[in-house]
Amino acid sequence: MCNTGFFLQKPFTFRNSFAQEYKKTFRKRNRIRRTKRVSWRYACFLID
């Protein structure tokens, strides 16, 4: 589930894990555009 409370509760740990995972997937999938929508959807995917 995408909850803003998750971001507020754990901002630092989420940023670190999100950055690492996003970089890995971004290297594999260069076709993904760097947009706020994509990053937000990917963040929701990680949370789910």
**Which tokens in the block code for residue 41?**
């959807």
**Rounded to two decimals, what is the model's pTM?**
0.24
Report the distance separating Cα 43 and Cα 19, nearest Å. 10
* CA distance to 13, 25, 44, per residue, from 3 (Å): 15, 22, 9
- Each residue's pLDDT tens digit, 15-46: 667 677 777 766 665 555 554 555 666 666 66
Q: According to the model, what pLDDT value does residue 1 have?
A: 45
**In the chain, how many domains are there?**
1
- Of 35, 2, 39, 1, which is closest to residue 19 (Cα–Cα)? 39
- Domain of 35, in residue numbers: 4-47
Q: Do 15 and 43 touch, CB atoms closer than 8 A? A: no
Report the distance separating Cα 21 and Cα 15, nearest Å. 10
Q: According to the model, what pLDDT value does residue 47 have?
A: 55
